A = this chain, B = another copy of it.
């Protein structure tokens, strides 16, 4: 701490190179109008002095505003999960607004691929300096980010990753391992043979997220050679009635189910069903720190929630663009969020 190094500025560079400040400035921002010779001379001095621009002065002098676009699902009745990332994004924005950065949100419908495309086109027209997006629709997102790449607009993924793209970074969970943790918790107190149920409640059953999670979940059983059955159910209609109907059926068909794992935040729907049908003998685990889920955690119907810090994802996502565009910092390309375990007892202190 407090290593006393003197900071040199453009003035010193100009002095040493026998040129004006303006010329140094031109080199730093590689604008035109500088001969190769002086350019080299100045660059050498910059390296020698390990010049670090003063962001304060830089942002103060530059009156231009940096605009960042945010492309995420809208908060629907279906799930208010996306409230959290948005909150984090807002927090980041207020923090960097004073440096002349603004963020413009674009919301798409998770049940409508076209809405994604429409908003993406709007962003491309908008001449933004950077983009933060949730690549929920794989093909559409790839197309969009390729357009960004060719326009040299940096972009960051949150919530789920698209490997091998030209993204600045990915900030989100390691989904496979998250499912793995879910399996561990689910089986932690199951003694002999188990009989567990995996439920996917979503219109889009082919969603990349769920596939990854379930893979991790099943791997745990394989790795630990746990004997027993894993039953699997897809529920495409997300209303309470449909969920109730499907669950009744499944629990009738398969007797002796001891535990249920829900692959997303709609675990509260299952909790509601278990509450009504008075099945408090079944352990229940699901995702995300939503109010409804917390309620069922409180009254014991949900045993554990797993959460990946959605607010932090939004915050960091926007900051990653700020750090790149304004500060010029190097960013870690993959930043996995922790796989947080939430129980009735520690939920009051959770940081989303």
Contact = CB atoms under 8 A, between A and B. Distances in A.
Interface string A326-352: 000000000011111101111011110
B56 A90 contact: no
Contacts of A185: 343
A93 B1 contact: yes
Contacts of A348: 177
Interface residues of A, number: 42
Contact of A105 (B1, B104, B173): B1
| A-side interface mostly | mixed
Nearest to A55: B98
Contacts of A181: 343, 345-346
Interface string A163-174: 000000000011
Contact of A339 (B1, B99, B339, B346): B346
Interface in A40-92: 54-57, 59-60, 70, 89-90
A90 B337 contact: no
A54 B57 CA distance: 12
A345 B220 CA distance: 10
A102 interface: yes
A339 B351 CA distance: 10
A134 interface: no
A252 interface: no
Contacts of A337: 349
A297 to B, nearest CB: 12
> What is the count of identical protomers in the complex?
2
A184 interface: yes
A110 B56 CA distance: 40
Nearest to A183: B345
Residue in A2, A55, A336, A343 with the greatest tally of chain B CB atoms within 10 Å? A2
Contacts of A104: 1-2
Contact of A188 (B54, B189, B346, B351): B189
Contact of A345 (B54, B56, B90, B180): B180
A52 to B, nearest CB: 8
A123 interface: no
Given A1-B104, A341-B343, 18 more contacts: A1-B103, A1-B105, A2-B104, A54-B98, A56-B99, A57-B60, A173-B349, A177-B346, A181-B343, A181-B346, A184-B343, A188-B188, A220-B345, A338-B340, A338-B346, A338-B349, A338-B350, A340-B340
6 contacts: A1-B89, A56-B59, A56-B60, A177-B345, A181-B343, A338-B346
